[in-house]
Structure 1
Amino acid sequence: MSNEQAPTWHQGELTMQKRVGTDKRMADIGPRFIRDFMPEQHRDYFANLFMIFIGYTDRHSQPSASVLFGELGFIHSPSDTSLVINTQNTMGDFIHQELEVGDKVGLVGVEFDTKRRNRLNAVVADISQKNITINVLQSFGNCPKYIQDKTFKTNVAYGDFSTTTRSVLDATDKQLITQADTFFIASSFDDGEALRNRGVDMSHRGGEAGFVKMNDKGQLLVEDYYGNGFFNTMGNLLHNPIASLLFFDWQNGHLLQLTVSSEILWDDNGKTDSNEKTNAERTLRFTPLKVDILHNGLAYLQKD
């Protein structure tokens, strides 16, 4: 079956849309808003980024969130259905360790100063020592809601990589999380042969510093407010609760990557503890399973 025939939404997304009553509107909007090619402005947009956030599945078939860096022009678009990303200057060699031709990936580009963001769901078409080539499955823009303004400078320590792995968050991790105004989440589902539209999503979450809270069990709580109504991430989590979260130490140049188990708490169930009360219709509760600190993993620092 060709991608043109593939359904726009998978069952998890449809379940979420039906619960909130937007399924009929999404049935109309989806095919018009989500394309299997990039408009010219999206191709130009990606070519002018110096970082792009990527979600993929690792060798254990679990979602993983990361970020690719480069000088302007490290991404180019030879056609309206493909991107070529130079990976020479990115974090370690994860591309060559984890990805294979045919793997599904999710990408999102964010311009923090202009508050533009565009997303892709794609399939890996080629991997070389220098580049990864992806073919577009779904291309769509996102509204500027919740993007926090940032400008950047070069991190001179970038490239001096080391990794610390542990099973629980320490006090420094918790402080970084609860003071964050931005994180990214990679989620995945088994799209099967019948869908062939995507298998991994990469999504941005943002808000005022402190929008991510923690309960006394060390679980993360993130209120979910109405956005584009697609429910890409939540639809995935209904089928596969394992996700990967990426937080940033923009001052010191480190990355915090969490493997988590996820739960969707609605306002009518689940939030029984006093420290889990929120004002949102839905809250995501993340239980950390694995903690990775990628030292000097950010090519850019936030300017003061």
Structure 2
Amino acid sequence: MRAYHSGSLAVQTRVGVRDLAEHVGRSIAPGIRPVAAAFLEAQPMLVLGAAAPDGRVWASLLTGLPGFTRATGPHTLSVAGGIPSRDPLAQAVTEAGTPVGTIALDPRTRRRLRLNGTARPSARGLVVETEQVFSNCPKHLTRRALRGWAPIPGPGSGAVRRTGSLTPDQERLIRAADTFFVATAAPDGVDASHRGGPPGFVELVSPTELRWPDYPGNAMFLTLGNLEEDGRAGLLFLDWATGTTLQLSGVAHTEYGPEGRAVRFRLDAVAETEAASPLRWSAPEHSP
């Protein structure tokens, strides 16, 4: 997989950062270096993006004791447990070669690592064969401390509430969010990324439409580039105190204006899971 496809190149050219993007793109490696392997093994959560069998793109939260994600080779990431059976992506990885994007984000240290490639089921859960591995800077990352673990819900608990639009409670969760994750797709693969900002940076246009500013970042424009090529997107919001997850799937596009860029997202499917994550995090320390 090359560093950039035509969608990302088009956005880089429009914004005028092609030279910077070429320089930053040299940090993208096909394999997992030792420092990245050590980081992965210390993480209790991983966000995975992929397309479900019906074509919808989702971003899903996977959790486990540190070590549940680990590099088993220079190009392989093993994820114990795989995708929960109640998750919209539960049936997404049923054979080798499924395009996926992942991001390991540590709120404790404000570090993040992205690994894109293809996945296959395994006896342990699933394995990702990496094609792109790279770190991002801590810009827009909110610091949180891990306060502890809640009991993992047993069979029959943690039911998923599925709707086609947002409820008032879900809208309140989004308005209060300082962090969410976004998965996007393109012909050459899937990417999972992070978006952060002050509470309220995600605008509720309607119960089926969101809008957020595209803050200056690393000049790669992988997310916006994918939206140029495809448009499908999946968002993941997390209630850090209770472990509830809110997953949205729909389509998005970039708006360019004199005051900057923004992404407008129209959802067509919602999945809310109470206590989906056993991780319990502290109140936020917002990014400078």
- TM (normalized to structure 1)? 0.86
CA deviation after TM superposition for structure 1 residue 34, in Å: 0.6
Mean CA deviation greater in 216-225 or 76-85: 216-225
**Is 2:145 the counterpart of 1:166?**
no
Q: CA RMSD in A?
A: 1.8
297 and 216 in structure 1: CA distance in 2 versus 1, 3 angstrom threshold: closer
1:101 to 66, 89, 96: 96
Q: Write 1 or 2 for the structure with the bigger share of helix.
A: 1
**Is 2:263 the counterpart of 1:284?**
yes
Runs of 4+ in 1 over 3 A off after TM superposition: 93-96
What letter is aligned with 2:263?
A: L
CA distance in 1, matches of 2:48, 2:206: 31
CA distance in 2, matches of 1:54, 1:262: 19
What letter is aligned with 1:176?
A: L
**Is 2:59 the counterpart of 1:65?**
yes
- The 5-angstrom pairing of residues 181-192 of structure 1 reads 181-191=178-188
**Is 2:118 the counterpart of 1:123?**
yes
101 and 22 in structure 1: CA distance in 2 versus 1, 3 angstrom threshold: same
Unaligned 5+ residue runs, structure 1?
1-5, 192-198, 269-279
**Is 2:93 the counterpart of 1:87?**
no
1:232 to 203, 212, 222: 222
What does residue 156 of structure 1 align with?
Answer: 151
Larger radius of gyration: 1
CA distance in 2, matches of 1:40, 1:252: 33
CA deviation after TM superposition for structure 1 residue 97, in Å: 2.1
157 and 72 in structure 1: CA distance in 2 versus 1, 3 angstrom threshold: closer
CA distance in 1, matches of 2:52, 2:267: 17
217 and 81 in structure 1: CA distance in 2 versus 1, 3 angstrom threshold: closer
CA deviation after TM superposition for structure 1 residue 303, in Å: 3.0
Number of residue pairs matched by the alignment: 278
CA deviation after TM superposition for structure 1 residue 102, in Å: 0.7
Unaligned 5+ residue runs, structure 2?
284-288
What does residue 133 of structure 1 align with?
Answer: 127
Percent identity for Structure 1 against Structure 2:
30
What does residue 295 of structure 1 align with?
Answer: 274
Q: Does the 8 A contact of 1:248 with 1:254 survive in 2?
A: yes
CA distance in 2, matches of 1:156, 1:76: 23
CA distance in 2, matches of 1:92, 1:296: 15
157 and 76 in structure 1: CA distance in 2 versus 1, 3 angstrom threshold: closer
**Is 2:249 the counterpart of 1:259?**
yes
Q: Does the 8 A contact of 1:116 with 1:144 survive in 2?
A: yes
CA distance in 2, matches of 1:211, 1:155: 29
CA deviation after TM superposition for structure 1 residue 291, in Å: 1.2
SS of 2:91's equivalent? helix
